[in-house]
Amino acid sequence: MALFKMDIPQRAQPFLECGIEECERNCELYCNPCHQRLCKQCRDEHLKSLENKNHEVVLYQQRKRQLPVEKCKIHPTKDVDMLCEECQVPLCSKCVTMGDHERHKFVDLEIVYTEKFALFQQEISKIHEYFLPTSQDLQKEIKKDSSEIKYIMDNIRTSMKTEGETLKSLVDTVVSENMEQLDQIEHSLLEDLNTQDKTMEDYITYLNNLVKELHRCLSSTETQKLMSEKKPKIRSIPETTKPVTPGFTAGQYSESDVTKLLGKIRVPNTKSKKREIRPIESVYNTAMKPTHKQMKENRKKYEKKQTLSLSASVTKVREFNVPGVDDVHHVSLDQSDRLWISDNKGNLVQTDLQGNVIQKIKTSGESEGYHTVTQDRDLIFTDKYKKVIKRITQDKKITEFLKTGDWEPLCIHSSKLNGDLLVGMGKAGKGKVTRYNKTGKELQNIERENKGKRLYITPHSITENINGDICTSDNYKNAVVVVNKSGQHRFSYLGQGSVLSLHGICTDVLGHILVCDCISDAVHLLDQDGQFLSLLLTPQQGVEDPLSVCVDDENNLYVGQRYTKTLTVYKYLQ
């Protein structure tokens, strides 16, 4: 018997009409015996009737649920409307008189049905308002941990490979030096032996000539002549030396010695901690509605993102002037309501979306993308001459955040994925990208591709794509250089057959890469695999010498240009 099979509405109706025909007033009450919706006026009329005067009329929320109509299997003409409390079996009024249920207690099935209905609704409410959101939050945490594990493992692999390459390089250096020393010894020994060989060759020639001369004397027929010849004095055999050859002492090392040089994996000896599950009391009665509202908003954002695509044309939304700067070389978004804007003379200003200046500071920054805003809304900016990175907190205090050694920090980006800082640096005609965590600990250095070729010369502007790729515009190489989150080179974009002069770079919610080119006076649009899609903005849209680009959470595109204080906002996604 499908006693509790019912259609349960997901949400209560905001307005219920009175069930009395031709009455359009709001329903507030309910007659349990009649299962009739009533307004206050109709209730009074309803109870005036002698037939209805003893009916139970309650608030609508406290109503009894109407039983589904179900016929008794034993007495097909009777409806099931009672419950045997001892057997827990639904019965009709005729069944209660049968011997199987003699002296058993019975209860109105409608009362039990209503209680069960309310109980099940409460459980459904708990599932939707606590168990599902909590489980989804835990699942997000698990996925985040999974991504973090992969990231940590990739970093360990990179470190291990670096250590191995370093050791190989040292081994090659030592072997090369030993070989060079051996070559020098060999050359010296052979040169000495060649000299000795030449000395012996000359001495043998001398002896052969002497023998010939003596034979000539012996063959003479003139006795007097032979008698007059003096006995020759034979020169002594020249002294020679036997070379002393070098030896080789093999190195004494074991596998453990190599492990000490290369490092080893530290296996944690602590047990995994159980994830904390917030108690149901913390949300069930107080935070349910806000949680649902937030989930609904997040779902709407996600659904909106899934339907976004490139518009057929780019539309100018608005533009405003930025006081305090000569032009707009770089823009950093501070949430959705404020911007940090810099020129090439060290002027850095914070404005609202109408161009009203909130604060202004003087820096040593020039044309590079030298500032960024963190997840905590702190401003981070570089000082390439002092080789430091500084932080401005919400209370406007400026502190030195970290030092970059002998490398000049040129451009910087705060990751929206994990809060890491990506810093493009330069030194003596070579460049690199270094990753730091939120506390300033160095995590990764990216300098060369697999074949050893340098990836960067002068990183000008840097950003991160939705897949973790690090995208850098290098205005000395005139290229967009893209590596994955492990630092492996993915591709370089060199333009469409003409030389580029690249400046600002950013990415959007769909993974597009947008980069400014001052030679074509255009903003180039690429997909996340480096394929050229279009010139998004050109001189036909009034763009000249674009220097900076960024996209906010509402998918508005901000473009700054040289020789003007104007910041222009466009729509290009729909």
How much is the mean pLDDT over the chain? 85
**Strand pairing class (421-427; 430-436):** antiparallel
**Longest Cα separation, the chain:** 186
Structure token pair of residue 520: 């074509």
HSE toward the beta carbon, residue 195, CA cutoff 13 A: 10
Judged by DSSP in three states, 524 sits in strand
SS3 532: strand
> Who contacts 326 (Cβ-Cβ below 8 Å, separation ≥6)?
343, 344, 345, 347, 565
pLDDT in tens, 357-408: 999 999 999 999 999 999 888 999 999 999 999 999 888 889 999 999 999 9
Q: Could you tell me if 553 and 564 are in contact, meaning their C-beta atoms sit under 8 angstroms apart?
A: no
Q: What is the dihedral of CA 542, 500, 428, 386, to 10 degrees?
A: 20
CA distance linking residue 388 with residue 372, whole number of Å: 15
Separation of alpha carbons 117 and 550, rounded Å: 54
Q: How deeply is 73 buried, as exposed, middle or buried, from its count of CB atoms within 10 A (0-12, 13-18, 19+)?
A: exposed
- Judge contact between 408 and 458, C-beta under 8 A: no
The rounded distance, in Å, linking the Cα atoms of 410 and 408 is 6
Read off the pLDDT of residues 170-185 as tens digits, 9 standing for 90 and up: 889 989 999 999 999 9
Assign domain 308-573 to its CATH architecture: 6 Propeller (2.120)
Nearest CA to 513 among 539, 490, 486, 545?
490
User: Does pLDDT of 51 surpass 90?
Assistant: no
| pLDDT score for 310 | 85
Q: Strand order in 430-436's β-sheet?
A: 408-414, 421-427, 430-436, 442-446
What confidence category does residue 450 fall into, taking pLDDT thresholds of 50, 70 and 90?
confident
What 8-state DSSP symbol labels residue 49?
Answer: S
Task: Confirm whether pTM is higher than 0.85.
Answer: no
Closest C-alpha among 460, 468, 353, 346 to residue 412: 460
Q: Phi/psi of residue 350, each to 5°? A: -105, 130
Nearest to 417 by CA among 194, 147, 207: 147
The topology under which CATH files domain 16-63 is: Double Stranded RNA Binding Domain (3.30.160)
Given the structure tokens 């109706």, which residue do they identify? 13
Rounded to an integer, the average pLDDT of 114-127 is 82
Could you report the per-residue pLDDT of 475-487, keeping only the tens digit for each? 889 999 999 988 9
376 DSSP assignment: T
d(CA 308, CA 302): 10
